[in-house]
Structure 1
Amino acid sequence: MSALEPGGTEGVDRAPRPRRRLWLLISLAALGIVVYLLVVALYASSGARSTMIGDPTASDSDVDVTVSPLAVNGAVERLSLDISVEAPDSLIEANGVAMKKQLLVLVTPVDGAQTVALDKGSIPRITKTTSVVAGGSVENWPFDRYSTGLLVVAYTVDAGGNAEVQQTNVMWKGYLSGWNFAVSEVVPDDPVILEMPDGSQEKAPLLMIEASRSGSTLAFGVLLLSVLVVMPVLVLFVAISAFTGRRKVEATLMSWMGAMLFATIPLRGFLPGSPPIGSWIDFLIVLWVIVALVAGLAVYVAAWSRWGTRATPKESRAGRARRQRSDDELSSNLSADERRRGDEV
């Protein structure tokens, strides 16, 4: 038989196949290590990094206002911030622990009271937690962004109720795990005009804040969604292999497929940031993962019905014919015996 014929084995080199499989395993292992290191590097790079915006060495006559992020609530489009106010030396008594006059810092747009107050006689530092309105759409997770423009104006109020605008130095400081912040001071097209104590006019800048998810969050979400996609691929592969008869049907595999189906929602809920039901990932990925899992389970049930072991062996046509002849012969014999007994009687 020739080596080129289907049954021939002479001269055929079968060594390359195991070698190719080895290289495939090595490549997959290397890819897994690279992905792992990439995720770790992204998480490390987006860790506790404090961002500083503003001039901490500004004039001693300026009111220092430091804004620090606490949380991002995409569901209600809010940024939680710490607003820290420190009065300048010119507004502090000689003892250094009490205010000469009342200092108010207007912060808008925020929920609740829009002013941070340092009353006369109080200590010259205060920190207030507030919630800032920030436009965005959590349905676009993990590419959702939230932005806002914060107006900060400081002014003093004397005993007669007269207000006097103070020079303000606004700073952004801090970090928030899982988020990146782009912060800058921008003068809007229709700015608020401030009357300064020296009679000059200044345009009040806005502290523009934009929050976006960090690279580690994106990588985590992509990997978790990839796991969701792999699940129905495995289920469909097993189901189709069983239905076509290439693999033996094992009824216990249906419980494994059911477990895959019920694991989908917990995995989806494990996504960082907990995107709400109805996000784009639900329509593009999660919904079709569930559909594919149910389809795979249905195909496997059909395979079980087609190839599974029957409760009673299926009788062939020849077997049915033999059984029928045997029944007919038995009936004939019984009828003959009954007739003989009747004749004897």
Structure 2
Amino acid sequence: MEASPTPDGAPPDGQAAPAARIRRLRLAALCLALSVLGVGYAVLISDFYHLTEPTESVFRERQADARAPLDIYLEVLAVEPARQAIEVRLDFATQSDSGAPRFPGLPGTDILVEVNDGGDVQEIALQAGQPAISKTLSLSVDGPFENYPLDRYDGTLRIRAIEGKDAAGGVSVPLRLRTWENIASWEVAMSPRYAAAGDKGLSLHVRAQRPSAQILFAFVVFAGMILLAASALTIGGLVFLGARKIEAALTGALGAMIFAVPMLRNVLPGAPPLGVRADAFVFLWVQIGVILGLALFVAAWARRGPPP
């Protein structure tokens, strides 16, 4: 014989202990979830407020002579993962009377600047006595774009300058390269790669990767997608099995989830084109799960829904 509840609505003595244990487990799970969210928030805030200030880096040739160098100012303009390229702008300067670099440069002789990214060589001709105008170049880098948001791109940049208009047999011009690596939504770092003895010019290793705040945001969005799919399957599955009653309002909620998932996909930082690994592992199956949840709910409504 089942125990009847007490007059005040409390569960019988035999069921009080299990009910209290379930409440404690739920409270512990809630506290754990809030703690994880709090730690994630603290990490994110710490990352924002402990960013290193971008600085101007200067690279010089190890074997340069005592002549005044040709100053080159390199600024990263954009990182293009789909093209596996980094767009940079080069400005040229010569020494002024005060010793500071003068932009734009006024070279005393014709100078041919070679920029090599490991795939092709691009030449920039500077004419004697003429202002050296800025030059925008696209440099090739290597990296698995499919690994978004954990993708990283590496490349090698070699720059050398030769007097005259022909690279063959010309006298090398000493270089001093100044780089500015600050660019929105990317962490770009350059480090020297010293050439072998006798080689002229500057060689740099270039690396571009997404900041940790963007990576965390992307994973939070993916987690939100998975939660939507789990919610849709729970609603549709329980109604289809008859464990919960049919409520017509849930049809609109499930339909909205179908359109919410692509919207979440599109607000990812630096949202990549469709086809990255995250789409195959998360987005595709989340969308299928939400649609299946709606289909189960509609099937249950068609079979057991209230008549007109």
- TM-score between the two structures when normalised by the length of structure 1: 0.72
Aligned to 1:40: 45
Equivalent of 1:152 in 159, 162, 179: 159
Distance 1:73 1:258 in 2: 35
Distance 1:204 1:118 in 2: 16
Distance 2:58 2:277 in 1: 34
Aligned to 2:305: 308
**For residues 25 and 310 of structure 1, do their structure 2 counterparts lie closer, same or farther at Cα, with a shift above 3 Å needed?**
same
**For residues 51 and 297 of structure 1, do their structure 2 counterparts lie closer, same or farther at Cα, with a shift above 3 Å needed?**
farther
**For residues 108 and 36 of structure 1, do their structure 2 counterparts lie closer, same or farther at Cα, with a shift above 3 Å needed?**
same
Distance 2:217 2:298 in 1: 34
Report deviation, 1:51: 5.8
Distance 1:132 1:24 in 2: 50
**For residues 120 and 297 of structure 1, do their structure 2 counterparts lie closer, same or farther at Cα, with a shift above 3 Å needed?**
same
- 1:28 matched to 2:33: yes
Whether the 8 Å contact between 1:69 and 1:174 is mirrored in structure 2 is: yes
Distance 2:123 2:238 in 1: 68
**For residues 204 and 156 of structure 1, do their structure 2 counterparts lie closer, same or farther at Cα, with a shift above 3 Å needed?**
closer
**For residues 10 and 255 of structure 1, do their structure 2 counterparts lie closer, same or farther at Cα, with a shift above 3 Å needed?**
closer
Ranges in structure 1 where 5+ consecutive residues have no aligned partner: 194-200, 312-345
1:217-259 per-residue CA deviation (whole Å, 9 max, x = no partner) reads: 2111111111111111001111122223332201221121111
Whether the 8 Å contact between 1:98 and 1:122 is mirrored in structure 2 is: yes
Whether the 8 Å contact between 2:78 and 2:183 is mirrored in structure 1 is: yes
**For residues 288 and 15 of structure 1, do their structure 2 counterparts lie closer, same or farther at Cα, with a shift above 3 Å needed?**
closer
Ranges in structure 2 where 5+ consecutive residues have no aligned partner: 6-11
Aligned to 2:9: none
Distance 2:116 2:268 in 1: 32
Aligned to 2:274: 277
Question: RMSD across aligned C-alpha pairs, in angstroms?
Answer: 3.5
Distance 1:47 1:272 in 2: 21
- 1:165 matched to 2:165: no
Whether the 8 Å contact between 1:48 and 1:176 is mirrored in structure 2 is: no
Distance 1:37 1:308 in 2: 48
1:182-205 per-residue CA deviation (whole Å, 9 max, x = no partner) reads: 4222246xx6x8xxxxxxx43545
Aligned to 1:329: none
Whether the 8 Å contact between 1:46 and 1:177 is mirrored in structure 2 is: no
Report deviation, 1:278: 1.2
- 1:116 matched to 2:124: yes
Distance 2:67 2:49 in 1: 37
Equivalent of 2:220 in 219, 223, 248: 223
Structure 1 stretch 208-217 or stretch 161-170: which is displaced more?
161-170
- 1:235 matched to 2:242: no
Superposition pairs of residues 149-298 of structure 1, within 5 angstroms: 149-157=156-164, 163-187=170-194, 201-298=198-295
Paired residue type of 2:79: V
Distance 2:296 2:52 in 1: 46
- 1:142 matched to 2:149: yes
**For residues 48 and 251 of structure 1, do their structure 2 counterparts lie closer, same or farther at Cα, with a shift above 3 Å needed?**
farther
Whether the 8 Å contact between 1:104 and 1:115 is mirrored in structure 2 is: yes
Paired residue type of 1:211: A
Paired residue type of 2:34: A
Matched position secondary structure for 1:180: strand
Distance 2:227 2:45 in 1: 22
Distance 1:73 1:27 in 2: 40
1:64-105 per-residue CA deviation (whole Å, 9 max, x = no partner) reads: 223221111111111011212222469x9xx99844222332
Matched position secondary structure for 2:171: strand
Report deviation, 1:175: 1.5
- TM-score between the two structures when normalised by the length of structure 2: 0.80
